Chain A
Amino acid sequence: MEKQKQHIINKEETVISITGLYKAFDDLEVLKGIDFNLFKGENIAVLGKSGTGKSVLIKIIVGLLKPDKGEVIVLGQEVDKLKGKELDALRLRIGFSFQNSALYDGMNVYQNLAFPLTMNFQNMPKKEVVNAVEEVLEAVGLKDKIKQMPSDLSGGQRKRIGIARTLILKPEIMLYDEPTSGLDPITSAEIIDLINEVQELYNTSSVIITHDLTCAKNTGNRIAMMFEGKFLKTGTFNEVFDTEDAQLKGFFNYNFIK
């Protein structure tokens, strides 16, 4: 689990830059002024309790939601201003792992993984597609599940296949939405290892949305503590953990009691 700590982070190159980000749904203010930078090769874990706007943040990064105010620059492009093919081209460089894996029910594992490739590169020879699928399945350790349907997989296996589906497009940035939620501690540890291996193998920069302290500690080079739509504190795990802030202390204490 300590693999990612040795990873080289290039602080000269910012892959995600967010300034003054606001988002509301009707009367409900979700994000209330978020500022952060993600450097190349870095993993940032956004930690906070449910309903604080963590998932909304990464959905804005990938252009699934539009911000009300603020600037979101990903790989040098302002996401909000992109449309059609330009947005698609950017999305091909970003991997998004969903909380519930979001595997296509009607397709088996092979079809799930091949789908983004065949849809985006229609002239790609079938042999190359098969090789790419086998390569990512190897990377997530589930090569033997290639013909299974998503309904036949366990929660942890579904998460792995979900991650494999994003890796097949060789993204530069990975966005993980609650990668360990709903998993037992052993499977959670396997997913944490996988996130660090992905960072090593594919040289990705990642935003990991989580409410799980163990996941944040073991995957994040930096932790951003989110509370009611704002980042209360950002730094290494120890820097964030070592706090006198009552709200942060409450969150940490609750996690330890649990």
Chain B
Amino acid sequence: MINYKTKKYLFSRVLDDYFTGIHNAYNFTARFFKEVFKKPFHLREVINQFFEVGLKSLALISLTGFIVGIVFTKQSRPSLEDFGATSWLPSLIGIAIVKALGPLVTALICAGKVGSSIGAEIASMKVTEQIDAMEVSAINPFKYLVVTRVVATTLAIPVLALYCSFVALYGSYINVHAEETSSMISFYQNAFKTISFLDIATSVVKTVVYGFTIGIVGCYKGFNATQGTRGVGKAANQAVVLAMFLIFIEEVLIVQVSNWLRYY
């Protein structure tokens, strides 16, 4: 007869739960890589999710990108004026937006908007047994819900970040044009003059990593939701907080690696 009464912890309940959580997250991510290359690919659902992610965030990203461009230009101008270097403004803005602000602003907005939406949607499906219903109908819910969403965010965030960078540069151009009446072509030429292939490649890699993070964290939190409707809110909240936290850590690591590549 099995004795269920005594449960022993390796360290303590909190520590055991913490390490179990890491182990589960690792298994969840590993399962994604195992399933993503297997048939069926559910391309239609990937496309649906891609548009869902893109369209949902487009308006907010347009507005935020535009404002970031204007504000950053306005705040940088006085410092450059002190040195008589306002002609460097487009280059400075170009570097700041393409290398850091564009990808980061896009990722943070999507972590809030898309990450929470994915977390809440999947958590709600979990607590109302819709995921179990898929499983008993011989449908792989991981493949249909998780893989499609993670692939969609991984592809959509780079496109959104590129769009955000262009809108932010346009916002910056409007500010520069109001002060110095420069043409848009010369502004964009100056903005991209100092940006290397490595800078653009790093930005693309960053956004791919951010997109993957937002998708996988949202799905993981949703898929492991418990405690009924309370769990839905909790999953959405945790998806945003954890995704943002990981995005900042990834930003630091990727910048370090890119700097290392630049110097060696």
Residues of chain A touching chain B, judged by Cβ–Cβ distance below 8 Å, are 22, 24, 26-29, 59, 62, 64, 68-69, 88-89, 91-92, 94, 96, 98-100, 102-105, 115-116, 119-120, 122, 165-166, 169
Contacts and interface: CB of A to CB of B under 8 A. Distances in A.
Contacts of B40: 122
B260 interface: no
12 contacts: A29-B4, A64-B132, A91-B135, A96-B132, A98-B129, A99-B129, A102-B132, A104-B133, A105-B130, A119-B137, A119-B138, A119-B144
Contacts of A62: 136
B5 A27 contact: yes
Contact of A102 (B4, B130, B138): B130
Contact of B137 (A59, A122, A169): A169
A68 B128 contact: no
A8 B213 CA distance: 56
Contact of A27 (B4, B125, B136, B139): B4
A102 B133 CA distance: 6
Contacts of A99: 129
B130 A104 contact: yes
B136 A94 contact: yes
Interface string B131-163: 011011111000010000000000000000000
Interface residues of B, number: 18
B8 to A, nearest CB: 12
Nearest to B140: A88
A22 B124 contact: no
Nearest to B144: A119
B122 to A, nearest CB: 12
B75 to A, nearest CB: 43
A228 to B, nearest CB: 14
A89 B136 CA distance: 10
A28 B144 CA distance: 33
Contacts of B136: 62, 64, 91, 94, 96
Contacts of A88: 138
Given A91-B138, A92-B138, A24 B128 contact: no
Contacts of A165: 133, 137
Given A89-B138, A105-B124, A119-B139, A96 B133 contact: yes
The residue among B4, B132, B133 with the most chain A CB atoms within 10 A of its own CB is B133
Which A-B residue pairs are the 3 nearest by beta carbons?
A: A88-B138, A102-B133, A116-B137
Nearest to B121: A106
